[in-house]
A and B are shown apart, each in its own frame.
Chain A
Amino acid sequence: MTALRTLTIANTRSFVRDRAALFWTLAFPILFVVLFGSIFSGNGATSFQVGWADEDGSPGATQLRSGFAGTGIVELTDGTRDELLEQMRAGDLDGIVVVTDGVGEALGAAAGGQTPSTPVSLVVFTDPSQQTQSTTIQQIVSQIVSATNQALSGRPPVLALEMESLQTDDITPAAYFVPSILAMALMQLGVFAAIPLAEQREKLILKRLGATPLRRWTLVGSNILMRLVIALVQSVLIISIGALLFGVTIVGSIALTAGFIVLGAVTFTSIGYVIASFAKTEESANSLTSVVQFPLMFLSGIFFPIDFMPEFLQPVAAVMPLTYLGDALRQVMVGGAPYAPLPIDALVLGAWLVGSFVISARFFRWQ
């Protein structure tokens, strides 16, 4: 027991005294949170700049306008279609809604009980390169359009729209990325375990320890314990900053959040052991770690929903452990829409843990 304790303390001390390790595991994720946070809040994530070109000029069109303005999500700028298009090209507008001539007449006719022979249209301009904005604006417009159609048809609504699952309504970008960054940080903390392991092997520290009565499992256990201690510190920091700066609080179970943090840290530490099993030197562990962490990060849907990925990459994301850690943390912490049910998240992470464990036990060399 004392060996486990002293070794864990020694490892933690070594870690804390290593400036580079400290930066990557503590400062870097925090910078990430702050940076992402400022980008999203600076961009007016809660209010979109939309141009309003009223080519109809009827009271019906004005009513429609107040309907849009009433959502509180858009800020309307009036102008002609051409003026507004110019502004949008200059980057001042996220989208434009054009009320074409005849809309007011059609609305009036519909209110009078007549059905117009051909529906009149609202024209919506969006910029597909601004994915979040264009999707949101399209959603808002289509909701208002269908609400209007429904109201004019005079029948009670059969299907009500559940607004909660909509990204803009419930999960703010901050709520999406705080758990994501936490997941990313846990992943890095884990796979980076490979570097000191390879270093300790290269410097023959592991060999020297092998000449003492210290059990190997005590050594492995202390490494994992140390990573867990750091993981908890990291998590508390990231969650606190998310809460203080961006108001992202844990809505779900704290115990379950902690459970997934522990499972994630242990799983990725095992993956770190796998890397250390195949890296001969500290140098190669370093590069192998980068090679592993980037695909893990970008093919795992922690920065954007997997549905946004190209179709051929989606199956890759579906096996990445980080996908499931991010998904689980989002669900538990901020009530995000599930990619997979929580037990599946836990199961996939568990499978990676067991698999990495078996591979390390088979291939890890102590000297």
Chain B
Amino acid sequence: MRTPGAATAVIDAQDLRKRYGPVQAVDGVSFQVERGEVFGMLGPNGAGKTTTVEMLEGLREPDGGQALVLGIDVAREPDRLKERIGVQLQTAALYPNLTVTEVIDLFRSFYRQRRPTRELIAALDLTERKDALTKVLSGGQRQRLSVALALVNDPELIFLDEPTTGMDPAARRSLWDLVLVLKERGTTVLLTTHYMEEAEQLCDRIAIMDHGKILEMGTVKELVERRFQELSIRFDALPGLEDERLRALPAVTRVVHEDGEVALYTRDVAATIGGLLEASREVSQEPQNLAVRRATLEDVFLDLTGRALRD
């Protein structure tokens, strides 16, 4: 039961399963990632993203299913695979009493293929901190160092598990830029995140996970359009304007109230807005904070899981 395209895929996961005691952490996950792609796994904590990634990295043995990464059977030849991938774990694991340069040099010594230490330090913007002990680094610097360690062997495929968790917005931006640089170099990236924006900004394709399963997979556009053909028109609720009247406006399919705001879902924005302005004049008012919005990944997520994904 092999999906088409599997032969050229950098990652080919087939029906991966992992159980911890009573919890089925990963419950039959299958997907492919193509060369040069940035693939995102989006989901709340405990969705099974990390376990899935760790099975692909050769850190955990699956209870069932098969993983081919870079054409290597992960279960059978994990050591050959580890030579060619870069891994960043969710919790940055560092030697507290070594300096940035020392840790990078240490990790370089584990691989046959190595990128120059200075180049890595510069790429991760750590030049000023190169002689600092890792224990005195800020959270963002530590996270960047842990990404640098994932790049020491100039890997073809890199796994980033929640790479921007705990970073301030500026640090997050600079890490995003780095991922885009990797993408330009042709590196395949698999990243997990629970930030919608990160997934939208970086990922060519996204798998939305919850309760150990992939609920939906595709580009952001595909995911949104698959569920939301309409756009929404939003404005502050107008007193006197009944829902019944709104629902009767041209092209409106749904009326939703959210925190004092009204959202009209429509197939024809112009017709609906014309009708809305007319209706508001009837009650001698004007709609405030009028905005037209396409559904976002967040709407998709909310629709799929029934809960919002907040940090």
> Could you list which residues of chain A lie within 8 angstroms of chain B, going by C-beta atoms?
2-3, 5-7, 10, 13-14, 17-18, 203-215, 367
Give the residues in chain A near B109, CB-CB below 8 Å: 2-3, 5-7
- With A208-B149, A213-B110 known, 5 other A-B pairs at CB within 8 A are A3-B109, A14-B96, A206-B93, A212-B107, A213-B79
A213 CA / B57 CA spacing, docked (Å): 11
A7 CA / B93 CA spacing, docked (Å): 15
Nearest-CB residue, chain A, relative to B90: A204
Encode B53-70 as 1/0 by CB contact (under 8 A) with A: 000011100000000000
For this complex, 28 residue pairs linking A to B, each with C-beta atoms less than 8 Å apart, are: A3-B109, A3-B110, A6-B105, A7-B106, A10-B95, A10-B98, A10-B102, A10-B106, A14-B95, A14-B98, A18-B97, A203-B91, A203-B93, A203-B94, A203-B96, A204-B89, A204-B93, A205-B93, A205-B95, A206-B93, A208-B93, A208-B149, A211-B57, A211-B58, A213-B79, A213-B110, A213-B111, A367-B59
Question: Which residue in B94, B96, B111 is a CB contact (below 8 Å) of A212?
Answer: B111
Encode B63-97 as 1/0 by CB contact (under 8 A) with A: 00000000000000001001100010101011111
Q: Taking A3-B110, A7-B109, A10-B106 as contacts, is the C-beta distance between A211 and B82 under 8 angstroms? A: yes
Q: Which 9 A-B pairs have the closest CB atoms?
A: A208-B93, A6-B109, A211-B87, A204-B93, A17-B97, A14-B97, A212-B110, A205-B93, A214-B110
Give the residues in chain B near A17, CB-CB below 8 Å: 97, 133
Q: What's the nearest-Cβ distance from chain B to residue A226, in Å?
A: 13
Give the residues in chain A near B97, CB-CB below 8 Å: 13-14, 17-18
A17 CA / B93 CA spacing, docked (Å): 18
A13 CA / B96 CA spacing, docked (Å): 11
A6 CA / B103 CA spacing, docked (Å): 10
Q: What's the nearest-Cβ distance from chain A to residue B103, in Å?
A: 8
Q: What's the nearest-Cβ distance from chain B to residue A282, in Å?
A: 12
Give the residues in chain B near A208, CB-CB below 8 Å: 87, 89, 93, 149
Give the residues in chain B near A212, CB-CB below 8 Å: 82, 87, 107, 110-111
Encode B9-47 as 1/0 by CB contact (under 8 A) with A: 000000000000000000000000000000000000000
A213 CA / B93 CA spacing, docked (Å): 16
Q: What's the nearest-Cβ distance from chain B to residue A270, in Å?
A: 23
- Number of interface residues, chain B, beta carbon within 8 A: 25
A338 CA / B219 CA spacing, docked (Å): 78
Q: Is the interface of B mostly helix, strand, loop or mixed?
A: loop
A235 CA / B160 CA spacing, docked (Å): 46
Q: Taking A13-B98, A18-B97 as contacts, is the C-beta distance between A207 and B110 under 8 angstroms? A: no
Nearest-CB residue, chain B, relative to A7: B106
The interface centre, meaning the residue of A6, A205, A208, A209 with most chain B CB atoms within 10 A of its CB, is A208
Nearest-CB residue, chain A, relative to B94: A205
Give the residues in chain B near A18, CB-CB below 8 Å: 97
Nearest-CB residue, chain A, relative to B146: A208
Nearest-CB residue, chain B, relative to A18: B97
A64 CA / B93 CA spacing, docked (Å): 76
Asked if A204 and B91 sit within 8 Å, CB to CB, the answer is yes
Q: What's the nearest-Cβ distance from chain B to residue A271, in Å?
A: 24
A361 CA / B12 CA spacing, docked (Å): 33
Give the residues in chain B near A10, CB-CB below 8 Å: 95, 98, 102-103, 106
Give the residues in chain B near A211, CB-CB below 8 Å: 57-59, 82, 87, 89
Q: What's the nearest-Cβ distance from chain B to residue A6, in Å?
A: 4
Asked if A207 and B89 sit within 8 Å, CB to CB, the answer is yes
Question: Which residue in B82, B94, B105, B149 is a CB contact (below 8 Å) of A213?
Answer: B82
A14 CA / B103 CA spacing, docked (Å): 11
Q: What's the nearest-Cβ distance from chain A to residue B98, in Å?
A: 6
Q: What's the nearest-Cβ distance from chain A to residue B147, in Å?
A: 12
Nearest-CB residue, chain A, relative to B87: A211
A66 CA / B103 CA spacing, docked (Å): 73
Q: What's the nearest-Cβ distance from chain B to residue A211, in Å?
A: 4
Nearest-CB residue, chain A, relative to B83: A213
A289 CA / B290 CA spacing, docked (Å): 67
A209 CA / B57 CA spacing, docked (Å): 12
Give the residues in chain A near B107, CB-CB below 8 Å: 212
A204 CA / B94 CA spacing, docked (Å): 8
A284 CA / B91 CA spacing, docked (Å): 21
A205 CA / B94 CA spacing, docked (Å): 6
Nearest-CB residue, chain B, relative to A215: B79
Give the residues in chain A near B149, CB-CB below 8 Å: 208
A3 CA / B111 CA spacing, docked (Å): 9
Give the residues in chain A near B105, CB-CB below 8 Å: 6
Encode B99-118 as 1/0 by CB contact (under 8 A) with A: 00011011101110000000
A367 CA / B91 CA spacing, docked (Å): 13
